[in-house]
Amino acid sequence: MLINKAYVFRLYPTEEQKELINKCIGCSRFVYNYYLNKKELMYKNNEILTLNDMKKDIPFLSKEKEWLKEVDSSCLRTSLDDLDRYILSK
């Protein structure tokens, strides 16, 4: 007999935590769309932009867009992983 259990948790973030969560979401969305556009442009020119190339480019993009430094880089890299998975599924 298989018994499934689930736990439900409710989070109550502080205002500072809510702001950081929203910044992470916004920066991830920007990075996803920025590199999606870059990949499309490079594809039209018969060039390839790999996942590793994109991840190596994040520090340079962060120098251009200072507000990307306000969030953890792992959420930015995760959005690139999601982008790569999306493109490979097409």
Q: What is the 3-state secondary structure (H, E, C) of 54-89?
A: HHHHHHHHHHHCHHHHHCCHHHHHHHHHHHHHHHHH
User: Do the domain assignments include residue 10?
Assistant: no
pLDDT at 32: 97
User: Do the domain assignments include residue 11?
Assistant: no
- pLDDT tens, position by position, 69-83: 999 999 999 999 999
Looking at every residue in the chain, the average pLDDT score rounds to 94
The range of the structural domain enclosing residue 60 comes to 16-89
Amino acid sitting at position 1: M
pLDDT at 3: 87
Tell me how crowded residue 1 is: count the other CB atoms within 10 A of its CB: 2
User: Do the domain assignments include residue 49?
Assistant: yes
Number of domains in the chain: 1
Q: Per-residue confidence at 68, pLDDT binned at 50, 70, 90?
A: very high
Tell me how crowded residue 30 is: count the other CB atoms within 10 A of its CB: 16
User: Do the domain assignments include residue 4?
Assistant: no
- pLDDT tens, position by position, 9-23: 999 999 999 999 999
Q: Is pLDDT above 80 for 90?
A: no
